Structure 1
Amino acid sequence: MFSKFAYSIFEQSIKDYHVYNNVNQPINNPYPKDKIEHLLYFKNWIDTIQWHYEDIIRDPNIDPVAALTLKRKIDASNQERTDMVEYIDSYFLQKYAHVDVKSSAKINSESPAWTLDRLSILALKIYHMNEEATRTEASQEHRDKCQEKLNVLLEQRTDLSTAIDDLLSDIENGDKFMKVYKQMKMYNDDDLNPILYQNKK
């Protein structure tokens, strides 16, 4: 199943990141650039870096200048994440281009790549919740609560994985069709964000 295949790559990316656990470390993507594995690994690496950016920026003692710099990095990471989702959807569009779509076919609320985006984030939640559930210096109460949350996340993984595989099967069989909208983010665009274009005058 594709969801299991993708999740294993997400897990590998997360494991590789935590060897050094440093947001400034360069990516060492082990897969060839023309393979879907490369895109999936890259996608999760972006998510993993951003996960830790979000941790850092919540430090109550962070220097304001450093926080602003980090906010810019988070914005750039968000754009990169969106771009990567679109690359992955392009893979699926090409893969299923030959499918004879049935007249009764329906569109899904999310494209395949956006469902995989959710699975990538879920892999990070599971990794870090497991860390908390097994953190020896934490109280037993803390570990028990985190284990309960981890159990829910694992159930969610099962449900989401099933939904992803069902969607891909429906697309392959012509029961659903893909329609991808390019993301039209406005806040980074000099011509669409009022703050930015007013400052250009």
Structure 2
Amino acid sequence: MEGVVVRRVIPSDNSCLFNAVGYVMEHNKDKAPELRQVIAAAVASDPTKYNEAFLGKRNEEYCSWIMDPEKWGGAIELSILSEYYGREIAAYDIQTTRCDLYGQEKKYNERVMLIYDGLHYDALAMTPVESAPEEFDQTIFPVDYKRSIGPAEELALNMAKDAHRKRSYTDTSNFTLRCGVCQIGVIGQKEAVEHAQATGHVNFQEYR
């Protein structure tokens, strides 16, 4: 399919990773509750692989944590969802313009693409023209013998580089946040996590 790569915006509701994956895999932006269950089940079924050192928390603690709709997903969740769907997941990181490829070692023959701005995941799709409705989106791409998906790959990377030039990302080590509960300002992900652990407050807003 000839065309352009477009960014399909996923709502910012702490479940953007899951809903972005749901969209690229199944054209469904409401898959988060189901995919959180998939991940919890995968983790619970293999406590040796998914141990405390790997997860950063105890296996059963992680399983209840990931079921909480307020909690965000990341690399662990993407690798599990790649295996669940049997497809590679390419996540383009705007800040570094790097592409993290999940499921690469499994040599799957299809790939989907996401874009990440430091805090939020959106879906990437190929469409005939930029204004085409979502039903024309191609989100699943065959991987050829060179482990490439053709023009879509370069178009997605160019989109990430363009967003980087416009500084359309959040530097999570230095961004400033305000706690929505007690209005205290914190700098970076580390301080936000420490504040959340100390107070139980998890409602942060970015401010500049």
Q: TM-score range by the shorter chain?
A: under 0.3
Question: Which has the higher Rg, Structure 1 or Structure 2?
Answer: 1
More strand by share: 2
Q: Which structure has the highest helix share of the two?
A: 1
TM-score, structure 1 normalization: 0.26
